[in-house]
Amino acid sequence: MRKLPIVVALLGLAAAACGTGSSGGSEGGASSAPASGGGDKPLAGQKIEVAAKWTGDEQANFEKVLKAFEEKTGATVTYASTGEDTGAYLGPRIEGGNPPDVAILPQPGLVQQYADQGALKPLAPEVQAQIDQNYTPYWKELGSAKGQVYGVLVKAAHKSLIWYRQSAFDDAGAQPATTWDDLIGKTAQSLSDSGTTPFALCAASGWTLTDLFENVYLSSAGPDNYDKLAKHEIPWTDATVATALEKMAQIFGKKEFVLGGASGALQTDFPTCVTQVYGEKKAAMVIEADFVAASVGQSGAKVGEEAQIMPFPKVGDAAPVVLGGDVGVVMKDSKGAQALLEFLASKEGGEVWAKQPGYLSPNRNVSPDNYPDNLTKQLAQTIISAGESVRYDMSDLAPSAFGGTDGKGEWKDLQDFLRNPSDVKGAQKKLEADAAKAFNK
């Protein structure tokens, strides 16, 4: 589904930076999860099926985490790949009364959907204790529905990044920006003046425009308003939304800032825009998440050399940190299923996974020192440093009719705004009408 595979970028990054990470166990001071049962192998003889979307290297790395769990508990874990359409895989199995013991969902909105269907089991107290110890209350809330905790965010994608081509910056004398005003008035303008188009936008993939909006909005409006807009507790006609759209219009409204202008951008999907920056060298920057690195490698550039990153610059008081990610849930209640979620939520489980390439943990007690390369350590540190102000991808929190459907809702409304960035109020009215319909208001 659109922004996925989550964090696949760092697979390419790790190969470029330092090869694959070791698959060793946890560092000292790790939690004792899972705490269910006694003896050396408390789950000996138990079989657990876990379903997730990952294939290839991502699956192999996750299976190393499952192997560590097996060695710790004596359980036998079988992995099933759902493919990109998790709902299409899980739906028939739920209806047939044979769901996997544990599922890893690609967006929190599915937690609410499956909870409403009665397809999820509340997490055991031992699992919730790990969540309380290792996660901020915000992440606990995302995995909850109707007052029950059903899910834990086990894997993250860092969406608050701007990738740039070092040679283009060198030729223009441009510098990475720390504020939005510097990004527009200095960095982008210097690139444009040098004859290089500043931005390649992947606007045919409407989700990339939602990512841009979310970063601008979180920084300009703040976390509290972000939460309210995500739940449609304030309307899209609110003044805070107008401010964010006006900032975006500073890019959209300057044809020389966007490769191919609006029409060209709207015909460019992800990851073609990455190729335009690093392969074709037609533009200097692309605004997207850490998974850009996979396409960077395919373009022949090296991450950390020609391909560099800057944190998304401050629009308001603080730089934004927006994450995507995957949520683990229990679908068949058993000691083994609960113990696996307890392990994945623990410091120990997070550190086993962090040693593999292609992974970022939202667990605040997983030290960045566990990651196999410097860029991953840097991204992990920004998540930890942001603390309570980190937020989840807003469009993935919304009903899919508004935040997750090609050619409809927020995707289409922001594409239309790219075509006509002078009509901020008109864009707000469209967004509010579509949001109200999707949220049944």
Three-state secondary-structure class, residue 148: strand
Tokens 């840097």 belong to 378
Rounded alpha-carbon distances, angstroms, from residue 291 to 97, 105, 330, 382: 35, 18, 28, 16
Architecture of domain 161-311: 3-Layer(aba) Sandwich (3.40)
Reading the block at residue 198, the tokens are 């500043």
- What percent of the chain stands above pLDDT 90? 78
Model's pTM, two decimal places? Answer: 0.83
| CB contact at 8 A, 131 and 140 | yes
Q: Write the pLDDT tens digit of every residue in 289-313.
A: 998 988 998 888 998 899 999 999 9
Is the CA virtual torsion 77, 82, 84, 89 positive or negative?
Answer: negative
Domains 9-157+322-392 and 161-311 alike in fold: yes
Identify the band that residue 221 occupies on the pLDDT scale cut at 50, 70 and 90.
very high
What backbone torsions phi and psi does residue 310 show, to the nearest 5 degrees?
-125, 145
Provide the sign of the torsion angle of the four alpha carbons 421, 424, 430, 436, taken in this order: positive
Within a 10 A sphere around the Cβ of 174, how many other Cβ atoms? 23
Q: Which two tokens stand for residue 235?
A: 């309307």
**For the chain, what is the mean pLDDT?**
90
Domain ranges of the chain: 9-157+322-392, 161-311
User: What SS3 state is found at 80?
Assistant: strand
Containing 97, the helix (H) or strand (E) segment is none
Residue 211 scores a pLDDT above 80 = yes
- Chain centroid offset of residue 287 CA: 14
* Domain 9-157+322-392, CATH among 3.40.50.1820, 3.40.190.10, 1.10.357.10, 3.20.20.80: 3.40.190.10
Token reading at 114? 């499956």
Residue 21: predicted pLDDT: 33
